[in-house]
Amino acid sequence: MKWAFYAGGVAFILAVMYTVFTSTETPPADMEEFRRENAQVGILDGLKESFMGIFQMPTAMRQLAIVQFFTWFALFSMWIYSTNAVTSNIYNMKVDAGLYSRITGFVDAETSRATDAKTKKELAALQTDIKEINQFQAAQPTKILTLNLANYYVSHAQPTAADKAELQRVQKQYNDGPTG
């Protein structure tokens, strides 16, 4: 699975490099005229021209602009929720409710004792993870754990050998991908 990311990265870089080396940009015919026009135009003029250009575009380009706008809007949702979707459906990040309860109890106790800003910020992020797990997995007998919760509990608590082994399995699943 890891090699797929490398292959995608190489393909992306090659596509960008191809574009960089094969695209040409033609300078204006009269460079002095171009500089004079730019000196007379302000930022607001540029924004106005860009906005008004939307109404002067051909129909096909206007439709494409609308599609692109909503595509970018949807990408943010994808970026936010794709991690949970992948870990829920592909990786085995599930732990039993007892271990989850011990982790949340530990994080709650640490949150009440935290004094420095960095620790408070880290624990606030973990509390957000816990809140989302409680919201979306409340009725589940097993909980899909975030890697952040697993890492924090292993590194800051003194888990039992069984809990530590289970959390190391979760970490391995996340880092190495699904097996079998």
Ordered by start, the domain boundaries in the chain are 31-87, 90-176
Is pLDDT above 90 for 109? yes
Measured in degrees and rounded to the nearest 5, phi and psi for residue 157 equal: -100, 180
pLDDT at 89: 73
CA–CA distances in Å: residue 87 to residues 102, 113, 114, 136, 160: 21, 31, 29, 14, 24
Mean pLDDT for the chain?
89
Q: How much is the pTM?
A: 0.58
Rounded to an integer, the average pLDDT of 5-32 is 92
pLDDT at 173: 86
Give yes or no for a contact between 144 and 88, defined as CB atoms under 8 angstroms apart.
yes
pLDDT at 79: 83
Give yes or no for a contact between 171 and 87, defined as CB atoms under 8 angstroms apart.
no
Q: Who's near 141: CB < 8 A, 6+ residues apart?
A: 96, 97
Give the model confidence (pLDDT) of 79-98 as tens digits: 887 877 777 678 888 999 99
Amino acid identity, position 101? S
